[in-house]
Amino acid sequence: MISVRSSRRAASSALAFAVVVALAGCGDSGPDAPAASAPLASTPVADETAFVSVTDLDPTILVDARYFGDHNFLGTRVNGYEAPKCLLTRQAAAALAQVQQELRPMNLTLKTYDCYRPQRAVDHFVSWARDLGDVKMKKEFYPTVDKANLFRDGYIAEKSGHSRGSTVDLAIVALPAADPEPYRDGDPLRECFLPADQRFHDNMLDFGTGYDCFDPAAHTANPAVGGNQRAVRALLSELMEEYGFTNLAEEWWHFTLKDEPFPKTFFDFPVR
């Protein structure tokens, strides 16, 4: 017997999916909330056994490890990323695999951008944000934000929920997945809030902005975002919430497992 809850979710997903199909057929081929105050935990090697690569659980999930490369708001590989992997606590990875199982029959897939983030990477963000002369990637990732205000506006913080291992940044991609536009250091930059056919050609569905867009347009419920983009955001949020995640209102791509196993522990082992 199908539960009332499941029926409601299925009906809502069907509506969102109809918009997704339309977008896929006609399209062209952040702020990080400060974590609760807590001491930084020590990170012995044994702690790494609580984590798993999501592709070990489900190899169909795509991984675009933005901080392993240089197409990110720093414009360089971030400290602590030694491999292009998505590591999560086993609980978060298992929940994510369930979301993927919902999407696959729709010819859709998850794509992760960032998962577990070592504290040393967060420290790299902080030191970069304090270097006001480094605005190499401003035009794409924070075009309307004065870099001096990144801390004040909440885009950069000294602690991140990602370091607790149960937070993931992700989007949805239509299958078969098209190749995203390659980025090469020095390529011309385009504002992250431009229409999908004008901003960087990621292969995600049109969520209204690119990933890591430091702009109000990235707020999940921003009413100025088009109806199709809102439906795509709703599909992602609905499925993630169904399997135990909660969204950060300022970033449509950012989700944390509600019952995260390490709510006060900020890890620092590298992604490898």
The catalytic residue positions are 251
Is 43's pLDDT higher than 50?
Answer: no
How do residues 200-215 score in pLDDT, each as one tens digit? 999 999 999 999 999 9
Lookup: tokens for 36: 């609760």
> Do the annotations mark residue 71 as ligand-binding?
no
> Do the annotations mark residue 162 as ligand-binding?
yes
E strands, 73-150, in order: 87-89, 108-114
> Do the annotations mark residue 254 as ligand-binding?
yes
> How high is the mean pLDDT of the chain?
89
pTM of the shown model: 0.87
* Topology of the domain comprising 4-26+48-257: Muramoyl-pentapeptide Carboxypeptidase; domain 2 (3.30.1380)
Q: Which residue would you say has higher pLDDT here, 1 or 271?
A: 271
Q: Which residue type, as a one-letter code, is found at position 203?
A: N
How do residues 109-135 score in pLDDT, each as one tens digit? 999 999 999 999 999 999 999 999 999
